[in-house]
Chain A
Amino acid sequence: MNEEIEAIALLKRGDVRGLEVLVRKYQLDSVRIANAITKDFSLAEEIVQEAFLRVYQCIDQYDDARPFRSWFLRIIVNDALKALTYQNRFVSLEGAGEFDGSDLAGILSESSLWFEQEEFGLTHENAQALQEMLNNLTPEHRAVLELKYYLDMSDEEIAMTVHIPLGTVKSRLHVAKMVLRSMLERTDLSFSCR
């Protein structure tokens, strides 16, 4: 913690060494969250790089009384959502004409399944379906879920982080929970999640 305070103090004086400490400390969490939201690893890396560069630039706005981690992760979540907004304005031509829709079933191959089915007591088909469901959630929903379950934030903290009303947090969580519930119903643990 002392190391972090020192780093921020350095950074506030314009010393780039302060940034290095912060980068090494928070890069992994940041990229993971950005990646979970955007589903684009290289985009996630770039978002985090840019966010650190901006930290260098606007560190004087950072309030020492607040934890750096949540201040920074908040930037990451918002930037990730924003980046997608900009991206989605344009129709991607990448791969256009190559995909004819005939092998839809094969899109999620064995290797692309990202969780071990046995660990969760799922069949391969169920795992595939669930992963697809989660990927089909909007980034906004995924962001809320990330904050809730990966970062252990309260609903109020999420509302503040993503700049949305508490009601919207709850409604997004609700939708997301429906997906989770259906996931849980497929596991051998048969109870609803609340």
Chain B
Amino acid sequence: MGAKELIKSFFKKYTEQDVPVELDLWPAIISRFQNSGEEVSNDSSDAGRDGNPKTFIESLPEVLRKTSNSISPKQKEFAMEKEKQGDGVRVTRRDFLKVSGATAAAAAVVGGTRRPVLRSLEEISSNAKSAQTEEQIGVGICRCQCYNYCKLDLHVRNNKIVKVTPAPYPDPEYGGGCVRGQSFIQRIYSPERIKYPMKRVGNRGEDKWERISWDEAIDIIGTKFNEIRQKYGDQAIAYTTQGGNGGALSNAVFRLKSVTGGTMIDGAADWGWMWAFGKVLGPDITGVGSSGNEPADYANAKTIIVWGLGLTETHTMQWRTVLAAKRRGAKLIVIDPQFPATAAKADQWIPVRPASDGAIAMAMIKTVIDEGLIDLDFLTKRTVAPFLVRKDNGLFLRNSHVTGIAPEKVKDPYTGQEVVKDPIVVWDAAVDDAKMLEEAQTPALEGSYEVAGIQVTTAFDLLKEAAAEYTPEYASKLSGVPAETIHDLAVTYATNRPSTILSSPAIDHYGSGHKFFVNIATLAAITGNLGKPGASIGDFYQSGMVLNNLEFLFPTMNFTEDLDLITLKDVAETGQLNGKPYPVKALYMHKANSVSKRTRWKDWMEHILPNLEFVVTADPFMVDCARYSDILLPVCDWFEYEEIVCGSIPYMSYNSKTIDPLFESKSDIEIFRLLAQKMGVGKYFEQSNEDFINMLFNSQAAKDLGITFERLKQEKSIRILPKTPEFWIRSRFGTPSGRVEFYLEQPRPRKSYAMKDFDPEGERLPGFRPPTEIWDKQKLNSYPLAFIQEHARWRVHSLWFGVPVLNEIYKEPYVKINPIDAAARNIKNNDYVEIFNDRGHVVGRAVITEGIMPGLTCMPIGWQQNEFKAGHYNEVTNGYLEPVTQTQSFYDTLVEIRKWEAYHG
């Protein structure tokens, strides 16, 4: 017997040994069909095809799907496919108890006790036959602001959602949901909902209202808006919107703003990382409008660094993809000043001093260069490393600079626009002379040269220079992380490839926080950890890929300058922007709790609101900004209107109108339609929602993919990217040069009105600048604790609240304090404490934990103002606006903590 035969016979033995040949599973299987309480049909040709109620056998797939712990790939809503789907709602004859039982059984499967499961299902299904009522299942997409957009099955009886269960996407990696989606039912029927249009009768903030009709509300708003427009100009009507109520149609505010010439106020939040990735990698690394690979691709990574991101709390679905990678052997490293739940599963946790992340990234850049771990091929072909930078003006050396001949103008074959064609010049080491990039054989990565009398240096040399001072030892001094750890981190990232860094905008919540993202994008580029399967940086987001947003949002192609939430204060107060008149007199807030999400809360009360003549809030819920409004409009919650949705997974999804709008609520687009008529621009809103959706699908990408509204309604979710690892191999980036631009030729601030405070030289290269407040030695004397705010898994930002079952766990605001800091202040666990500084205060319970470093405190957010015993966390936060990216510095805040005396309970 040869070796192979031996092994084979060995395995035959091993495999067949325990299992008797006479094994027969069929009786058990058929009894599982029969025990379900219905006749087994041996011929299904006449069942359920003519609108008759379905037999249990027909709905069995549904039940099984809920009892099965392994969701098979490409699993679809089976029964849904078979029936005609007009509105995404299907009628099945199935009793509610049975379904509840099935889900309980599913939970038991996950809980690890397998065998009792089917028994309980059988009992429930046979005992509960009498309780049969009509049940409909709608398809819903959870659109809380994590953008993971998990799919949900909405179980409806009598026009009421009675249960929400997770539904699978065709890819098993996506979906699954989290507690927020699962408890959604309590949110829909929450007492916090705004039921009717209302008019303020007390003072702003007093919360005294009078119910009015929709006609009256629209009349008041329209009349007031028109008056203000006439008196102060179109820009005087401002709108705030962020990620709440996500969906393509609910962005209609941009359409109204565009045709009426209003002002959009952005939240000045999370822009640091978008600016940085946008500049270095281009807006378009994947061709789909995001910088990272899709979450399912994390599984191809060998090293994953989760840097300042609470995946377990905020992106449960992505966390599952990270765990999948880990199961496949990936090394998981978590960098965080706290010990988050992600760290509990990590191979390594690196606690850092808040805001020092950028310095660590710089030291990693220096380390990989010094250790010779750079990816020369990627560096030469995919980055600007060999480009020559002029010493006199900082621009890249181009052909016209060398030859003196004016550059050629050519027509872009795609856009038809005229573009200047002026090729980049590099130093060709093969001939030791300057050559056009396309002709150079061996572009030099290093060296300073003189070309046609112009002094130039390679961009890579400038990068090395910029990184020179950031030795691991120096970064260690700034960050508190041992130099050796930083060195090893860099080596692991560069060698155990492909590597992925997952981060979040958290790190841009400090002054100059965007530099960190410039640095990690550069680090990814020089180590070749970019544009490959398993090598990704940043987030994946694809809202703009398929949809023809331009036509829908900007029908008149009117793009006005927008403001940010911080600059709004000066503009509202002075009526000027950069010395020029810019009166803003009315504010329409929706899809965002703008009052709550602004640093220096008191600015609203003292400077912004008193200067606004008219304030409207449109929201499903009584959020903070609603209390300070003149008119309240009730908005539909997600499942009360039809919507199309795309977010941070590569799917375009359909959200059905599952129940009628509750109370008198209307969807955002419905409200804008009414307002547009009143404001004299009704012709831009004449189309039906379906017309608008068809307009959104009127794009080349949608045509190429064959996506139509009809098809989407049928299939519910359509994958818009090929699912092959090779898809992530990028030959071109979305930057002007098509390469990773770690050197910026012409840096600009995000908002052009911020030019006056902008220093372009500080933005050309990766680097590090300390935060504005939390490292300030003088300020530390009075307020020695840095104060950050994290997201909890029970709420999302400031719009998701009012769910009783989650409030059972997330009862009241609390602040995490290290035992050393607590002892120094005589604070005990559960004491009410006051966090304060000279800007304001906020009160919460003390949670004393080793999971946060000394000198740092953290308050999980998501609270409405009236849930605090006193104050608001944004009373104390630093109002500094980062001049490059116009991003608020929520975390760049120093505070002191003391026991709260007002509490004597």
> What residues make up the interface of A, taking CB atoms closer than 8 Å to B?
13-17, 19-20, 23-24, 27-28, 31-33, 35-36, 41-46, 48-50, 52-54, 56-58, 60-61, 75, 78-79, 82-83, 85-87, 89-90, 114-116, 119-120, 134, 145-146, 149-150, 164-165, 168, 180, 183-184, 187, 189, 191-194
Contact = CB atoms under 8 A, between A and B. Distances in A.
Interface string B89-112: 000000000000000000001111
A86 B109 contact: yes
Contact of B10 (A42, A44, A60, A120): A120
A50 B4 CA distance: 34
Contacts of B41: 14-16
- Which 8 residue pairs spanning A and B have beta carbons closest together? A14-B44, A57-B61, A149-B11, A90-B112, A114-B17, A36-B15, A82-B70, A193-B3
B344 interface: no
Nearest to A130: B10
Given A24-B24, A53-B64, A191-B3, A89 B112 contact: yes
Interface centre among B43, B76, B115 (most CB of A within 10 A): B43
B175 to A, nearest CB: 16
B476 interface: no
B328 A164 contact: yes
A107 B91 CA distance: 56
A31 B44 contact: no
Interface string B665-683: 0000000000000000000
A86 B72 contact: no
Contacts of B70: 78-79, 82-83
B7 interface: yes
B65 interface: yes
Contact of A31 (B7, B19, B47): B19
B60 A87 contact: no
Contacts of A58: 61, 72, 75, 78
Given A16-B30, A27-B23, A46 B74 contact: no
A175 B111 CA distance: 32
Nearest to A75: B72
B18 A193 contact: no
Nearest to B3: A193
Contacts of A90: 111-112
Given A114-B18, A146-B15, A191-B3, A54 B72 contact: yes
Nearest to B79: A57
Nearest to B113: A90
A77 to B, nearest CB: 11
Contacts, number: 152
B26 interface: yes
Interface centre among B7, B21, B75, B110 (most CB of A within 10 A): B7
A15 B40 CA distance: 9
8 contacts: A27-B25, A50-B68, A61-B75, A134-B14, A165-B300, A180-B10, A189-B1, A189-B6
Contact of A45 (B9, B25, B44, B61): B25
Contacts of A78: 70
B7 A24 contact: no
Given A189-B6, A193-B7, A35 B68 contact: no
B329 interface: yes
B711 interface: no
Given A41-B18, A56-B61, 5 more contacts: A27-B25, A83-B69, A114-B17, A115-B13, A183-B10
Given A27-B24, A41-B18, A57 B44 contact: no
Interface centre among A50, A168, A183 (most CB of B within 10 A): A50
A54 B76 CA distance: 12
Contacts of A44: 19
A16 B40 contact: yes
A16 to B, nearest CB: 6
A134 B16 CA distance: 15
B14 A57 contact: no
Contact of B26 (A23, A57, A75, A145): A23
Contact of B69 (A28, A42, A56, A86): A86
B231 interface: no
B29 interface: yes
Contacts of A52: 25, 29
Nearest to B300: A165
B12 A53 contact: no
Contacts of B76: 61
Nearest to B117: A46
Interface centre among B3, B68, B78 (most CB of A within 10 A): B3
B129 interface: no
Contacts of B111: 90
A133 B1 CA distance: 23
A150 B15 contact: yes
A193 B11 CA distance: 14
A145 B11 contact: yes
A54 B11 contact: no
B19 A28 contact: yes
Nearest to A46: B114
Contacts of B13: 114-116, 119
Given A20-B30, A28-B21, A14 B47 contact: yes
A29 B65 CA distance: 24
Nearest to B170: A61
A58 B61 CA distance: 8
A180 B7 contact: yes
A32 B42 CA distance: 29
B724 interface: no
B20 to A, nearest CB: 9
A19 B42 CA distance: 11
A47 to B, nearest CB: 9
Contact of B14 (A14, A45, A115): A115
A99 B631 CA distance: 71
Interface string B43-71: 11101000000000110110011001110
Interface centre among B16, B19, B112 (most CB of A within 10 A): B19
Contacts of B75: 58, 61
A151 B420 CA distance: 62
Interface in B203-226: none
A17 B40 CA distance: 10
Contact of A184 (B6, B11, B109, B114): B6
B292 to A, nearest CB: 20
A17 B26 CA distance: 11
A24 B23 CA distance: 9
Contacts of A16: 30, 33, 40-42, 57
Nearest to B44: A14
Nearest to B533: A165
B11 A87 contact: no
A42 B1 CA distance: 34
A190 B472 CA distance: 53
